[in-house]
Amino acid sequence: MARGEQQRGDGQRRDRRDRNAPEERVDSDIVEKLVHINRVAATVKGGRRFSFAALMVVGDQKGRVGFGHGKAREVPEAIRKATEEAKKSMVRVPLRESRTLHHDGNGRWGAGKVMMRAAPPGTGVIAGGPMRAVLETLGVQDVVAKSTGSSNPYNMVRATFEALKAQSSPRQVANKRGKKVGDIIGRRADGASAEGAVEG
């Protein structure tokens, strides 16, 4: 095999790996993860014109996370656009003891369905692909998550965000019901401490 062909083959393998595996970049206190890159070809009069679509997830690993997508003729420009959109759309999610979710949750977007469960310390992030990128940038350290249905990364990320937006801390529930946080905590099955819940 010629040297040029070998180099081209290596480049194609690297491009394929980059497209599927989340790539992480740290910008000050914001962590940026590249979830997916899609190459789109438009057939025009002179031939084919290629452009790229990037899906990015950003978060401060302290309870704030956002996602965005951008399109451009070059990959770096698509990533830059997606990162800017993700930073504008960041949402705050209450975390229990700054490590896991307060309660189980389900999310759905299109044909993408996800299920997330709070987990005890030491469990780690048990999630795959786009879900893992969202949960890690959010700052979750212990969670069990499963995706059923569509494996489209856009649908999976949006479904994960729908599940995270439904999260509520004991303090928020207590305010809605006009009760004390201790009354809400006392009913929790796993017996988490009231201090840890108040922090979230």
For residue range 8-41, what is the model confidence (pLDDT) as tens digits? 444 444 444 445 556 666 666 888 999 999 998 9
What are 112-164's pLDDT values in tens digits? Answer: 899 999 888 888 889 888 899 999 998 888 899 998 888 899 999 999 999 99
In whole angstroms, give the CA distance from residue 98 to residue 168: 14
In whole angstroms, give the CA distance from residue 185 to residue 43: 60
Residues in the chain: 200
Q: How confident is the model at residue 83 (pLDDT cuts 50, 70, 90)?
A: very high
Q: How many helices (H) and strands (E) does the chain have?
A: 7, 9
pTM of the model: 0.73
Containing 198, the helix (H) or strand (E) segment is: helix 194-199
Cβ atoms of residues 170 and 187 within 8 Å = no
* pLDDT over 50 at 78, yes or no: yes
In the block, residue with structure tokens 């490590």:
99
9 backbone φψ class: left, alpha, beta (φ>0; ψ -120 to 50): alpha
Cβ atoms of residues 156 and 147 within 8 Å = yes
